[in-house]
Amino acid sequence: MRGDAFAVVGEFGTSFATLQDLIEAGPDALASVRAASDALTEDAWAPLSGVEHDSAVIDPPIVLAVGLNYDEHASELSLDNDSGPVLFSLFPNSLNGHGRDVPMLPPEMSEEIDYEGELGVIIGRAAKDVRAEDALDYVFGYTVVNDITARNIQFSEPQWSRCKSFDGFTPVGPVVVTADEIPDPQALHLTTDVDGLRVQDSTTGYMIRTVAQLIASLSQSLTLLPGTLISTGSPGGAGRSRKPPLYLVPGTEVTVTISGIGALTSHCV
């Protein structure tokens, strides 16, 4: 069941204003939404033509991003990933939706705006001191993330939150797919296309730390709250590593696609 199906359940006496509301309502609420959506006839669904996407997650407790979780990406940036997960948070103003505009920074601030296609994981229930073998039981669903980054700022500051948190720099979507539809998050094909050019082509099987291992590691002695979005890192192929470099500029279109979830497109302006 896709995580956006809850939007139609108002006809059945139950509705949730946001996906976060549904997640916080717990598994029984999700089960009722699933049953209600399964009962709908085809003519009960409203067409999406003319509807704009918002971020697939609207008000998560936090967005946690994992850096350098693929060897090829760490190597192309000449950064060390041996000490453990590189973790940073993304500011809520950076969240953006499928098909929407991503404002580029003024040239005097950065001319090195880069793409990073990533698998997003949404936590479904409070997770603390979770074992890796149990970690996927805490996942509500999965989505697509483009972790857009101002590279010059990334390499000039000791932390990575600001360089990735400018307005609209974190497109998420187009939908959230519930965990039951993704039995193995390490078997997903991920691609990124910039103006039709395939620049990233990999699978989540190349993650250094799997989704389960990341949840287990991040949950040690702290609680991952329901609705937390974890962006799990990007494979190789970043624009900075290309010769010549390929950076995002006004007019560029970027599409990140993950099998089983969908394609997330952004327009740079």
Q: What is the pLDDT of residues 142-197, one digit of tens each?
A: 999 999 999 999 999 999 999 999 999 999 999 999 999 999 999 999 999 999 99
AA identity, residue 121: V
Query: Residue 10 has what pLDDT?
Result: 45
User: Is 83 found in the same domain as 13?
Assistant: no
pLDDT band at 81 (very low <50, low <70, confident <90, very high): low
- Predicted confidence (pLDDT) at residue 201 exceeds the cutoff of 60: yes
User: Is 9 found in the same domain as 84?
Assistant: no
Q: Which of 179, 208, 202 is nearest to 256 (CA)?
A: 202
- Give CA–CA dist 71/157, Å, rounded: 22
pLDDT tens digits, one per residue of 84-115: 678 999 999 999 999 999 999 999 999 999 99
User: Is 130 found in the same domain as 17?
Assistant: no
- Predicted confidence (pLDDT) at residue 8 exceeds the cutoff of 50: no
Identify the residue with better confidence: 229 or 17.
229
- Predicted confidence (pLDDT) at residue 36 exceeds the cutoff of 90: no
User: Is 122 found in the same domain as 58?
Assistant: yes
Half-sphere exposure of 149 (CA within 13 A, CB side): 27
Q: Which CATH number covers residue 74?
A: 3.90.850.10
User: Is 128 found in the same domain as 1?
Assistant: no
Give, as one character, the DSSP assignment of residue 222.
Answer: S
What pTM, to 2 d.p., does this model score? 0.92
User: Is 180 found in the same domain as 65?
Assistant: yes
User: Is 105 found in the same domain as 36?
Assistant: no
Query: Residue 72 has what pLDDT?
Result: 75
pLDDT tens digits, one per residue of 225-253: 999 999 999 999 999 999 999 999 999 99
Query: Residue 9 has what pLDDT?
Result: 40
AA identity, residue 160: W
Domain that holds residue 28: 1-51
Residue appearing with tokens 């000490």? 83
- Average pLDDT, rounded, for the chain: 91
User: Is 147 found in the same domain as 234?
Assistant: yes
User: Is 215 found in the same domain as 116?
Assistant: yes
Query: Residue 73 has what pLDDT?
Result: 54
- Predicted confidence (pLDDT) at residue 216 exceeds the cutoff of 90: yes
Q: Which of 4-8, 19-23, 195-199, 203-207 shows the lowest per-residue confidence on average (mean pLDDT)?
A: 4-8
User: Is 195 found in the same domain as 91?
Assistant: yes
Phi then psi for residue 129, to 5 deg, are: 50, 45
In sequence order, the 6+-apart residues with CB closer than 8 A to the CB of 253 are 194, 195, 265, 266, 267, 268
User: Is 28 found in the same domain as 88?
Assistant: no
pLDDT tens digits, one per residue of 157-166: 999 999 999 9
User: Is 132 found in the same domain as 170?
Assistant: yes
Q: What is the mean pLDDT of residues 32-37?
A: 84
b/e per residue 185-205 (b: at least 16 CB within 10 A): beebebbbbbeeeebbebebe
Q: Which of 233, 148, 237 is nearest to 199 (CA)?
A: 237
- Max mean pLDDT among 4-13, 67-76, 181-190 falls in 181-190
Query: Residue 83 has what pLDDT?
Result: 64
- For the record, the structure tokens of 216 come out as 């287990």
Q: Which of 90, 79, 61 is nearest to 223 (CA)?
A: 61
- In the chain, how many domains are there? 2
Contact, 225 vs 218, CB < 8 A? Answer: no
